[in-house]
Amino acid sequence: MEHTHSSEVLEHVHHDSSTKKIWKTFWILLGVTMVEVGLAFLHLETGFPSRVLLNAIFVGLTVVKAFYIVAEFMHLGSEIKNLIYTILLPLLLFVWFIIAFLYEGNSWKNMIKDLKPGTPIETPKAPVKEAGHGHY
Amino acid sequence: MDTAVTAKKKWWAGGYSPFNVSYGKLMMWYFLISDAFTFGALLISYGTIRFSSTSWPDPNEVFRSFPGMGHANLPLVFVSLMTFILIMSSVTMVLAVHAGHFRDRKAVAKWLTWTIVGGIAFLSCQAWEWTHLYHEGAWWGRNPFLNVDGTLASTNFTNFFFTITGFHGLHVTSGVVLNIVILANVLKGTYEERGHYEMVEKVGLYWHFVDLVWVFVFTCFYLL
């Protein structure tokens, strides 16, 4: 019973600041999502921001949300560095995966376009032109 | 402060966890890393196929319905509600974990119950969305939606959508089941006897991960 008593005292000290932090994270996540949806609507109505800029903003804001979920809700922010690096460093492989595979996908698209039946054969011209610029 | 502690304590000298967490919690993190790669592989293959396609259906055209609103054009509204539900259930989960630190059994049970309610609400939303899309003619192997440029779309769009949101929904389902098991143990007093509520933290990690994945699914399928 002593235990319950001391933990209750602790509760009053800690409860407020911790709970406040949790709700602050919630409002950040909700706010960021609302900004994303708002921007999507703005784009639908006015065409501003341009698709490329909008996508860049979306990806950036997604990373922001992911950071808050992992750091605050999953408490990774308050773990020791050994654990943080053990978890985050393997995820760096994603940087390579994403770049390599999206590049590959784009390259397929171009290949399919170039090899479509009836595509005028223009490709041989390009290297000749380039050679004229003194590329070699 | 962390660095000071790390420098003083020889974390790799043995005798204690070099990660300063229990075995179970570390293994949950390892599992989540592997699960992150599974989801990553699915989402990256989706991105690859999308990049290799000359055109793709417009999500604002496909996902524009809301239950009970008939044919009103409401892009993003329903999925925003789903996102809100999942974020909210993440908050109630943190509050359950937080209450567990103080061994406040009643509060843990209360917040876990709300988390389960949130999970079930999310799954219900997804069930409605899938049913609605199914009635519009979308399913694995069937895609009634045209590309943005008006050309006929391949079934890649629906295949990826149902596979990835389905895989995520499966994770939510198992999360709800785990939460129910944990809640039963809380009510039985298992963790009171054990002296700590770490199981709530471990399941909490999984639950937040499911929320984390949804953040990426939301961006990849509904925004981009």
Determine the pLDDT at residue A122: 59
For residue B80, list chain A residues with Cβ-Cβ distance below 8 A: 33-34, 37
Residue B155 lies in a domain: yes
Residue B15 lies in a domain: no
User: What are the tens digits of pLDDT across the range B147-170?
Assistant: 999 889 999 999 999 999 999 999
Residue B35 lies in a domain: yes
How far off is chain A from B173, nearest CA to CA, in Å?
Answer: 20
Residue B50 touches partner A, C-beta closer than 8 Å: yes
Q: Where are the domains of chain A?
A: 1-79, 92-136
Residue B8 lies in a domain: no
Residue B17 lies in a domain: no
Residue B65 touches partner A, C-beta closer than 8 Å: no
Residue B1: pLDDT band with limits 50, 70, 90: very low
Residue B5: pLDDT band with limits 50, 70, 90: low
Q: What is the DSSP string of B24-49?
A: HHHHHHHHHHHHHHHHHHHHHHHHHH
What whole-number distance in Å separates Cα of residue B98 and Cα of residue B64?
38
User: What are the tens digits of pLDDT across the range B9-41?
Assistant: 788 888 888 898 999 999 999 999 999 999 999
Residue B185 lies in a domain: yes
Nearest CA in chain B to A60: B219
Residue B112 lies in a domain: yes
For residue A11, list chain B residues with Cβ-Cβ distance below 8 A: 102, 104
Q: Is the pLDDT of residue A6 over 80?
A: no
Asked if A74 lies within 8 A of B208 by C-beta distance, the reply is: yes
Closest-CA residue to B218 (of B88, B119, B84, B127)? B84
Q: What are phi and psi of B142, to 5 degrees?
A: -135, 130
Determine the pLDDT at residue B10: 85
Nearest CA in chain A to B88: A26
Residue A106 touches partner B, C-beta closer than 8 Å: yes
Q: What is the domain range of residue B120?
A: 24-223
Q: How many domains does chain B have?
A: 1
For residue A90, list chain B residues with Cβ-Cβ distance below 8 A: 33
HSE of B145, CA atoms in CB hemisphere, 13 A:
25
**Residue that the structure tokens 């409860």 belong to:** A15
User: What are the tens digits of pLDDT across the range A109-120?
Assistant: 999 888 888 777
Contact residues for B205 (Cβ-Cβ < 8 A; gap 6+)? A74, B25, B28, B29, B32
Residue A56 touches partner B, C-beta closer than 8 Å: no
Residue B27 touches partner A, C-beta closer than 8 Å: no
Residue A9: pLDDT band with limits 50, 70, 90: very low
